């Protein structure tokens, strides 16, 4: 997998044609980057290095219940400016308390900043950590490779929300946190899965 | 323009400026991005003897609530000179007339480049703290804030830079320091979006003839190429982590 990647900044022209890409905008006949990111010319995409989560339907998110509304609705904090809303069926309701951590899937987005959630699931106990939302795809990895590896090696159960909240529980929480922080820091480099693997395996030997 | 004409120093000595620069030379500029851990984006700039920190927070929920715009993000900007930043006149806390004005014009620059429609109902805060000032702080502050904005991951159409041009007698020169600023005949800070050379801010103190204005514009656009490169370089350097490979 050898492809040319270069760092782009807002205002860098990435193509002389009109292309529909995330994190870019079209100006006249050209496509221009709107973020600091890596431009991959073989796949024609700009991978942001910094940025915020924009809700999309189908995203798995982790959030904290903030308040109960009427008729079984709950307000969930997802990020600083995106809130989630749990709407439940009349006959089949789950009760949540403010402070409960939940995992859910985004169904619809209203006014760009309100995500209507479905299939909520309470996450009991555990710890919550924040990562940059742009690093989440790297943390999950291709076909979940990275996150599975961390879960296997640290014997933690983890849920990674696209909004940048990571929930984890289990005996190796400290190691898992360390691995997540390292991925966040080195997300734009290659060969990271291997490095994380060796890092966690070394840690295992130390413990035994 | 603020200095008394009685004790005006020589601004041009042997065809050069007081600090040995030619009329086209910028002061040395150094930018470092991502210097503050708690801010979403930040930058530190040293532009000649100016030392300025810029930090960006947000997008976050707009407060007070009635200020929020349901269609777009609002941008708030605070430019402030630290009490110890210059020789006199900044010891009183709180914004003064000058800081309020500069905050306003910088805010309006960013309203034109940030894609505010992406975060309705939210606010983006820009803080510019001048630690040491030596003329041209609004230009330097804006240049740093632009880097901080990009570092925060806020979507922008362009990476704005700003620089001032001015006139000493009949000579048009770029990037005035404090003494030149105080005793020159005209001073004009300009902010430009470099991709299309759109002018986003232009303030003028004093006057130019048509020809002098054209010359000043040419100097600014030429200097802008250098400043833009320094800005891009600062952003790229953030990701040169050890073990990194392309």
Residue A55 in any domain: the answer is no
**Residues of chain A positioned with their CB less than 8 A from the CB of B143:** none
Q: Is residue B162 assigned to a domain?
A: yes
- CA-CA distance, B30 to B46, in Å (whole number)? 5
Strand intervals (E) in chain A: 5-8, 13-15, 24-27, 30-33, 37-40, 45-48, 60-68, 74-77, 83-86, 101-110, 114-123, 127-130, 156-160, 165-170
From chain A, pick out residues whose CB is under 8 angstroms from the CB of B193: 11
16-45 in A: which are within 8 Å (CB) of B?
A: 23, 25, 27, 32, 34-36
In a domain, A69, yes or no: yes
Residue listed under structure tokens 């904005």? B149
pLDDT at res. A3: 62
Local structure of residue A134 (DSSP, 8 states) = G
Task: Give yes or no: residues A136 and A111 share one domain.
Answer: no
β-bridge pairing B41-47 and B50-61 = antiparallel
Q: Is A10–B245 a contact, with Cβ atoms under 8 angstroms apart?
A: no
Interface contact A169, partner B, CB < 8 A = no
Residue B184 lies in a domain: yes
Bridge partner residues of A165 (DSSP): A130
Whether residue B2 lies inside any domain: the answer is no
In a domain? residue A53: no
A35/A69 same-domain check: no
Q: Is B18 a member of any domain?
A: no
- Which 8-state DSSP code applies to residue A109? E
Can you give the residue range of the structural domain that contains A12? 5-48
What pLDDT is attached to residue B246?
41
Residues in B touching A27 (Cβ below 8 Å): 157, 195-196
Whether B51 maps to a domain, the answer reads yes
Is there a single domain that holds both residue A140 and residue A203?
yes
Query: Is A54 within a domain?
Result: no
Residue B89, classified by CB atoms within 10 Å of its CB into exposed (0-12), middle (13-18) or buried (19+), is: exposed
Segment among A40-44, B88-92, B187-191 with least mean pLDDT:
B88-92
Please indicate, yes or no, if residue A157 is contained in any of the structural domains: yes
Whether A92 is covered by a domain: the verdict is yes
> Is pLDDT at B184 greater than 50 in this prediction?
yes
User: What is the pLDDT tens value at each position of chain A, 208 positions in all?
Assistant: 456 788 999 999 999 999 998 899 999 999 999 999 999 888 888 989 988 898 999 999 999 999 999 888 999 999 988 899 999 888 888 899 999 999 999 999 988 889 999 999 999 999 999 999 999 999 999 899 999 999 999 999 999 999 999 999 998 899 999 999 999 888 888 888 889 888 888 876 655 5
Asked if B156's CB is within 8 angstroms of A10's CB, the reply is yes
Counting runs of H as helices and runs of E as strands, what totals does chain B give?
Answer: 4, 12
Query: Exposed/middle/buried for B121, CB within 10 Å: 0-12, 13-18, 19+?
Result: buried
Number of domains in chain B: 1
Residue A88 within any structural domain of the chain = yes
pLDDT score at A92? 81
Q: Which chain B residue lies closest to A27 (C-alpha atoms)?
A: B157
CATH number of the domain residue B77 falls in = 3.30.230.70
- Average pLDDT over chain B reads 91
3-state helix, strand, coil split of chain A in percent (to 5) is: 25, 35, 40
Asked if residue A59 lies in contact with residue A164, where contact means CB atoms within 8 angstroms, the answer is no
Contact B45, B134 (CB under 8 A): no
Residues A179 and A111 in one domain: no
Residues A131 and A203 in one domain: yes
- Report if residue B179 sits inside a domain: yes
- pTM assigned to the model: 0.90
Using the 3D structure, point to which of A90, A107, A123 is the last residue of a domain.
Answer: A123
Is the CB of A80 less than 8 angstroms away from the CB of B232?
no
Domain presence at residue A142: yes
Q: CA distances (Å), A27 to each of A13, B132, B201, in order? A: 9, 39, 21
Mean pLDDT of B18-24: 92
Q: pLDDT higher for A187 or B159?
A: B159
Please count the residue pairs, one from chain A and one from chain B, whose beta carbons lie less than 8 angstroms apart: 98
Instruction: Give the number of other CB atoms < 10 A from CB of residue A78.
Output: 26
pLDDT tier, B242 (very low <50, low <70, confident <90, very high otherwise): very low
Report in angstroms the alpha-carbon separations of A113 from A53, A119, B146, B214: 10, 19, 25, 46
Q: What share of chain B is helix, strand, coil (3-state, %, to 5)?
A: 30, 30, 40
Q: Say if residue A74 is in the same domain as residue A38.
A: no
Q: What 8-state DSSP symbol labels residue B72?
A: B
Q: How far is A10 from chain B (nearest CA, A)?
A: 5
Give chain A's domain count: 3
Which of A1, A11, A23, A192 is most worth mutating to test chain B (most B CB atoms within 10 A of its CB)? A11
| Full residue range of the structural domain in which residue B213 is found | 25-236
């Amino acid at each position: 997998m050898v492809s040319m990647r270069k760092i782009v900044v807002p205002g860098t022209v990435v193509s002389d044609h009109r292309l529909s890409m995330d994190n870019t905008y079209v100006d006249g006949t050209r496509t221009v980057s709107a973020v600091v990111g890596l431009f991959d010319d073989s796949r024609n995409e700009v991978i942001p290095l910094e940025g915020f989560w924009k809700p999309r339907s189908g995203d798995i998110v982790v959030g904290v219940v903030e308040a109960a509304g009427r008729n079984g609705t709950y307000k969930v904090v997802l990020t600083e400016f995106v809130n989630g809303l749990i709407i439940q069926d009349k006959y089949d309701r789950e009760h949540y308390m403010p402070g409960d951590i939940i995992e859910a899937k985004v169904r619809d987005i209203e006014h760009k900043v309100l995500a209507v959630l479905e299939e909520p699931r309470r996450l009991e106990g555990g710890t919550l950590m924040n990562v940059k939302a742009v690093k989440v795809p790297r943390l999950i990895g291709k076909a979940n490779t990275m996150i599975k590896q961390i879960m296997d090696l640290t014997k933690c159960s983890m849920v990674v929300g696209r909004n940048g909240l990571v929930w984890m529980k289990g005996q190796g929480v400290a190691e898992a946190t360390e691995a997540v922080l390292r991925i966040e820091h080195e997300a734009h480099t290659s060969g990271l899965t291997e490095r994380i693997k060796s890092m966690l395996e070394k840690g295992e030997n130390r413990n035994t | 323009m603020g200095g008394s004409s009685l004790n005006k120093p020589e601004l041009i000595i042997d065809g050069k400026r007081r600090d040995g620069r030619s009329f086209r030379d910028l002061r040395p500029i150094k930018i470092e991005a991502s210097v503050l851990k708690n801010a979403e984006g930040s930058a530190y700039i040293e532009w000649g003897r100016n030392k300025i920190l810029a930090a960006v927070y947000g997008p976050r929920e707009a407060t007070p609530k009635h200020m929020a715009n349901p269609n777009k993000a609002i941008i708030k900007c605070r430019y402030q000179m630290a009490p110890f930043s210059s020789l006199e006149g900044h010891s009183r806390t709180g914004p003064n007339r000058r800081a309020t004005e500069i905050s306003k014009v910088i805010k309006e620059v960013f309203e034109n480049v940030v894609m505010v429609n992406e975060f309705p109902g939210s606010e983006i805060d820009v803080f510019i703290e001048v630690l040491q000032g030596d003329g041209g702080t609004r230009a330097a502050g804006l240049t740093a804030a632009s880097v901080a904005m990009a570092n925060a991951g806020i979507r922008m159409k362009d990476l704005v830079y700003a620089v001032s041009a001015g006139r000493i007698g009949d000579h048009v020169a770029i990037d005035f320091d404090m003494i030149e600023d105080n005793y020159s005949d005209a001073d004009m800070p300009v902010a430009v979006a470099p991709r299309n050379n759109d002018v986003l801010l232009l303030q003028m103190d004093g006057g130019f003839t048509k020809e002098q204005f054209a010359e000043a514009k040419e100097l600014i656009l030429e200097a802008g190429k250098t400043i833009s490169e320094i800005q891009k370089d600062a952003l790229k350097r953030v990701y040169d982590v050890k073990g990194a490979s392309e």
